[in-house]
Structure 1
Amino acid sequence: MIRVIILALILGYSSTFPQEDSSKVALQNPSPMVDYTRKHERIFETKFQGISFSIDSLTSKPIEIYIPKKSQKRSKFDLVIHFHGNPNIVKYAADKYNGSIIAAILNLGSGSKRYYNQFEDSTLFKRIIDSVIAKTKYKIGVKPTLKKVILTGFSAGYGAIKKLLETHSEDIDAVLLLDGLHASYIPDRKVLSEGGKIDSSAFDAFLRFALEASKEKSAKKFLITHSEIFPGTFVSTTEATDYILSKLKMRRKPILKWGPLGMQQLSYARKNHFMIMGFAGNSAPDHMDHLHAIYHFLNKLLNL
């Protein structure tokens, strides 16, 4: 049990910190390491029938590629690029995906800044897509046509999506953020209740994409899920989504509803193809729930 908790903290919770220096982790208010209120069911799948391979030369860590068995005889695919989290959980989600999919998974370690900085080279995104297409053709014998490019990010992975929305928004069809959207306070670490303000510039790219997805006839889709974790030294996902909702003149609606894997949904807000879903919990297991439930939220995104 202790090993699982420590792994959860390494993979997700501790890696949400905004960092000026990726070698120096900002302190935050302590949060419970265990929770017995909710089920916290987990995906432990390790054997997959699809094709797995990697792209090693483009990024600082290998990009893992997975093509489910059911998708291998197709020629048109949705490309899902996921940032941060156990690859097996994403592969499981790909197997459960309601459509043909190629899943690409990139893990860079702790800190959203690492993900953001990885895409400082504006040509990298296109080179990744071109490489996925070329290697998929070699593996399945058919050159794939991409129907949609979907970005998903858990925890610190939002950093990569932020950068890509700043530079390649027109090439991105849908975005899924899993309990990962943060900013700094102004002054630093001064929370709202003490007179601090949100450094809202961190949300500009997300706000633009949310605005586009909220239009009735838009082809863009955007889903954000969040917990109740309050780090204290930087903006929480609840505060971040509250800010975006205020700018779009949207209101949360309270709800009490079971979610996937024993999660408990408390609120939602939706306008056309943009949706925010709020869930109970302020512990590390509550944070990890969002990653394990990606199979559910990815299909939810498709139906927005």
Structure 2
Amino acid sequence: MSAEELERLGDEALCAGQLEKALDHYDTARHLIFETFDAELIQDAEFDLVCKVTDDLSRVGEKARDVWRKLQPPPKSAAERAGELRANVDEAMATGDLADASHAGFRLGETLEELNDREGAESAYRRAVVLARQVDAGDPELMLAAFSSLIHFLSPSEESVALAQEMVANLIDRREMYHPMRAADAAYHWAIAELKFAEVAQHRMDHAIDGVARQAIEMLDGICFHKGSQTLQRLVAGVLRSAGRDSEADQWQADADKYEDWEWFMEQEIPGHVHLWDIRIDLPTHGREDE
């Protein structure tokens, strides 16, 4: 049976509400069309034929994906997900799996935020952080996720900054938890916490910008996460503008805008740019044993 006939049968099954049968026909048709993409056959084929095969594959593939989506169970409500996550936390705690309990805990916090239960969300986030501290170096990614979730949930305050500093002290200063990408991510969240707090405590502004944000931007550029660098530069510009320091804000905004013109395969240089192949998975100097 040809791919065209199989596609027609799939269309008929779909019209009859036979979704699984339709998906089976579409998948079989897609595989037949894909076989046409034999490298030797395509090499000698005319351009119009190649275009037709490509169009057929795209069309049938999209039909198959549409039917597959219709076959999926309806998404659960936030309330249902919250109930499941609570059960997951309790089960993990009962078995002593603190890492799983913490993971489920901060996801529970996110879900409770959707439900506008801020008190419940804060409780879930705080519990996740407590558990992440106990897991410690056993799961550094958990510490990053749990701490950053609570940091961004809280209003800008000395507490949110202190949590960010604790997270950074673990993920940057401790040899067993250090990784350049994770460290840069931690520095990014620390900078956001410091900058947002500086908006309400303006005596901390210079420290937040020069002592934290600049370092974070350098680290982010060092792993080619330029989108994060740009986000921080724009945030710095906004913080400076809120304090009436418009000329400085303009310079930071201009630096952020430079990233808009950068493309992977061009020679344009971005401050602090390091090619991916130049990244070294080394420990920082302060973490080496030979000091």
Query: TM-score higher than 0.5 here?
Result: no
Higher strand share: 1
**Higher RCO (CA 8 Å, separation ≥ 6 residues):** 1
Between Structure 1 and Structure 2, the one with more helix by share is: 2
Answer with 1 or 2: which has the greater Rg: 2
